Amino acid sequence: MNKRTILGGIFFIILALGLGSCQKAEKGLPNVVENRKLTEHSREFEKKIYKVADGVYSAVGYGIANSIMLVGKDGVIIIDTMASNEEGTEVWNDFRKLSDLPLKAIIYTHFHPDHIFGAEAFAGKNTPEIFAHESTDDAVSRFISETGPINGSRSMRMFGTFLDKKSMINAGIGPFLSLGPDSTLGYIPPTKTFRDRMKANVAGISFELIHAPGETDDQLYVWLPDRKILMCGDNLYKSFPNLYTIRGTWFRSLKNWYRSVDIIRALRPEYLVPSHGQPIAGAATIHQIATDYRDAIQYVHDQSLRGINQGMTPDELADNVILPAHLAKSPYLQEFYGKVSWSARSMLSGTMGWFSGDSADLQPLPVKEQAQMMAEISGGEAKLLEHAKRYVEKGNPQAALELSGYAIRLNPENKEARTIRIKALTLLGERESNANARHYYLTEALEIRDKFVATSRVKPNPRMVQRFPLSFFFDVMAVNLDPKASADIDKRVGIQFTDAGEAFTIHVRRGVAEITPSLSDNLDILVQANSLKWKEMLGKLRSPVTTLASFNYPKGNAVAFALFLKLFEAPPMRLPFENKGK
């Protein structure tokens, strides 16, 4: 088989591997009403570098997160590095106007993308010491590999990335998340890690890193004991906390979170510098804010468990767990980012699992049968839509949203149902002062109107892709195995990375991909590959067609390998209410 034949054979096969780009939205929903409360909250994110104290600066408003600079005797420390190299470059250029001392260290408060992906912009050609919790690097890999596609899609909705400026007022804890097709990611793995506490001195600055699990399990505080200044990451910001995030993540322990806020109270800082929003000054003020904050979290934790022990379902918890008036009026507990109701629901799933306790949820009707039942009760599909339209007119968009979902499941091409759904979503979005909910509603309306699915459009940085271990890429492959296409297949493929001294075997065994970090016997295909080319191909930085053809095949050939890789075709992403599966 000549090279041209191999290339032609691979081309049509590799199209199925899901390596394409996403569709852009036609931005703008007509006549979207501005939310006054959310608009007023934008004052918190005025673009400005705040001088907290001599040598301590916080850059607010450059992106959804802050970056903080500590100036020492012969260098500076950067705490959190923004969401992209482009954001990081802008902040670093403005920081350089305040100090031209060299960068000595970077500290990640936690693994979230808006705090780590601009690291290369600050580091430049030299890699400084990078401090983080010992679990941070693993959390980055897990976040990207296992649920990267759906987290990316939900994040685009939650942060309003596809919305115009009128619809997207602010992100609740920052002005915006500016990740787009021109953004580059520059995460650099930590070089110094710790478990509980670590004392260090960099550039003459003595500091202590304190593990403080809350919004993430790897969250840390940066404490300057001599100056009573505390950098608290994302464990406290000017909004009710995101005890559960609608973009999806593993369970956030409310008990860990309020106990970590107690660390703030115990330290009694004179200055508190969060990674979102403006710094706070005054020990008494900080102590009161932190007390209210931890009390609100504990209240939701305790009262949710109390309701769970009474047998409440998630819907009942959402209705019954309501903050006391003195906490609900706190400026730091307004629901711009997190919601009490979401947090109560999360407590049940996080502590008891998926089952609500209602017998009807043990074996619920398949979603299409539910839709058929609702149509029958309504008197047919047409009557179902009449009810949905009437609910919109009566000012009950939630009811209309639910009914339109049933109608679309029965008939995905029903234009009237989609029009009603767009109206319901827009009304719900306009009413929301919670930025995440507002954006999610309005983005889905835009997706339906313009017929696309919101997905991440960020370009991977070649250096960052190459830093991930080979095992990371095989983890991604395993969860994408097509169970139907592989149902009758029993095949072993070995991949030997001659440049890296590593090898893996993928054994597809009737719906399961067992991956072992060595070459097995009795291989059906043996591939000798370059690890960097392999990573860049799977990271969408290199053509699969020419890359596969460039590998050596002691057993099998490029076309056979491409057919094998087709088993790992990424399934198409659809909107939540559209038919999936059976």
Q: For the segment 187-225, what is each residue's pLDDT rounded down to a tens digit? A: 999 999 999 999 999 999 999 999 999 999 999 999 999
212: number of CA atoms within 13 Å, CB side?
Answer: 26
Under 8 Å between Cβ of 218 and 317:
no
Q: What is the model's pLDDT at position 456?
A: 78
440 lies in a domain? Answer: no
- Residues 6 or more apart whose CB falls under 8 angstroms from that of 65 comprise 80, 82, 83, 112, 114, 115, 173, 174, 275, 276
CB atoms within 10 A of CB 72: 18
Whether 254 and 382 share a structural domain:
no
- At 581 the pLDDT is 56
Q: Domain with 48 in it: what CATH number?
A: 3.60.15.30
Q: What is the pLDDT, as a whole number, of residue 13?
A: 39
Domain that holds residue 94: 38-292
525: which 2 tokens?
A: 């295909």
Count of C-beta atoms within a 10 Å radius of residue 501: 8
Q: Are residues 120 and 244 in the same domain?
A: yes
Domain containing residue 523: CATH number = 3.30.1050.10
CA 384 to CA 389: how far, in whole Å?
9
Answer whether residue 575 is part of any domain.
Answer: no
Q: Which of 408, 431, 454 is the last residue of a domain?
A: 431
pLDDT at 27: 59
Same domain? 418 vs 511: no
Number of domains forming the structure of the chain = 3
Low-confidence spans in the chain with pLDDT less than 50: 1-24
**Residue 356 domain flag:** no
Domain edge (last residue) among 251, 266, 292: 292
Q: Is residue 320 part of a domain?
A: no
Let me know if residue 89 belongs to a domain. Answer: yes
Q: Alpha-carbon distance 92 to 34, whole Å?
A: 33
C-alpha 86/C-alpha 92 separation (Å) is 10
Nearest Cα residue to 464 out of 161, 150, 220, 116? 116
Q: For residue 155, what are the contacts with CB-CB under 8 A and spacing of at least 6? A: 161, 177, 247, 456
Clarify whether residues 127 and 177 are in a common domain: yes
Nearest to 481 by CA among 581, 570, 572: 570
Q: How many CB atoms lie within 10 A of CB 20?
A: 9
Q: Are residues 248 and 106 in the same domain?
A: yes
Residues 127 and 224 in one domain: yes
Is the pTM of the predicted complex or chain greater than 0.75? yes
Coil, helix or strand for 40?
A: helix
Give the CA-trace dihedral at 286, 288, 293, 294, to 10 degrees.
100
The residue written with tokens 């306790």 in the block is 357
437: tokens are: 């909910």
- Residues 149 and 219 reside in one and the same domain: yes
Residues 410 and 494 in one domain: no
Q: How many CB atoms within 10 Å of residue 94?
A: 17
